[in-house]
Amino acid sequence: MSSMFRGRHFISTQDFTKEELDLIVDLSLDLKRRFAVGELTPWLPYQTVFMIFFDESTRTRNSIEAGITQLGGHAHFLNPKTMQTAHGEVARDTAMIFSRFGHAIAVRHCSFGIGNAFLNELAKHSSVPVLNLQDDYYHPMQVMADLMTIRERFGVNTRGLKVAVSWAYAESHLKPLSVPQSQILAFPRYGMDVTLAYPEGFDLMPDIVDKAKQSAEESGTKLEITHDMDEAFKGADVVIPKSWGGFYVSDNPDEIMAEVRKHKDWICTPERMELAAKHSIYMHALPADRGREVVDEVIDGPQSVVIDEAENRLHTAKAIMALTMGGK
């Protein structure tokens, strides 16, 4: 077990070298094998993770909670509405107190323009690792599971793979930008050529896109942007069609949703999957808006790896906690 991670915050994969990310994936695969044969891994006995969720969660909350239990520790689920945060307690005080109570602080805060700043303020004052469970900029836990899933399907050498990261129509809520932003930042570092597709106006954060383009250039890969979903799917090895909010369309959620409804044809169908490579896989962070983002025939079909991808959230979460947490 390497000690170079000990005590480090996990807010973005950009804070880690590719070699360090490789170590996380390698350990995740090892933990998955151990879990499959029932081998216990109590590597963090009696350690405590404080989980603060400003937003709803299924896979993220339970991968952390089950993961720390399987590592021998315990998680506290905290709703900010029942914390003194609701009465104005500042991030500095929360971070300093929880640092003395336990061993890590894990937070999901996706409010646009607020979440990432809150996590960084926590990290500034925390003496234990702050783990990003998704904010408005990044979802590093998800993209590590994505990398693990792609590696399981295509092997260690992912250079030359074509990945389509596409917007898709949904109305359940205005989903954060953090999943596609994390993907376009991480995938080029692994030699993948990325095509980012979305209707005009549904841009990702400009500085994130600039960083992703720079990463692609440094890695000798391509990051292309199109406003044609079919074009993105053509010849793709991996397709990831997922909705995100049009936060540059308007500040008014109703106006954004009105624009969303103009693009109901941005849906993943068998016809679109036929545009991709024959061996292509369909991925989604879940939950998917069935019948809007994707039809059942695709998400439940043989090319879908969404359940494997979701399972890998457990093993990557365990690896990240095992590497960053430790004795005080």
Evaluate if residue 157 carries a pLDDT over 70: yes
Q: What band does 4 get if pLDDT is binned at 50, 70 and 90?
A: confident
> How high is the pLDDT of residue 187?
98
| Whole-number pLDDT of residue 326 | 72
- Residue-wise DSSP of 68-112: HHHTT-EEEEE-GGGSGGGGT--HHHHHHHHHHH-SEEEEEE--T
Q: How far is CA 141 from CA 3, 36, 56, 280, 305, in A?
A: 20, 21, 16, 23, 17
- pLDDT above 90 (res 200): yes
Q: What pLDDT sits at residue 328? A: 42
For position 3, what pLDDT does the model report?
Answer: 57
pLDDT tens for residues 43-93?
A: 999 999 999 999 999 999 999 999 999 999 999 999 999 999 989 999 999
Statement: residue 147 has pLDDT above 60: yes
Q: How confident is the model at residue 327 (pLDDT cuts 50, 70, 90)?
A: very low
Instruction: Encode 180-202 in three state secondary structure.
Output: HHHHHHHHHHHCCEEEEECCCCC
pTM of the predicted model, to two decimals? 0.96
* pLDDT for res 158: 98
CB–CB of 232/274 below 8 Å?
Answer: no
Provide mean pLDDT across the span 193-209: 97
pLDDT of residue 53: 97
pLDDT band at 166 (very low <50, low <70, confident <90, very high): very high
What are the chain's domains?
A: 13-139+310-324 (3.40.50.1370), 140-309 (3.40.50.1370)
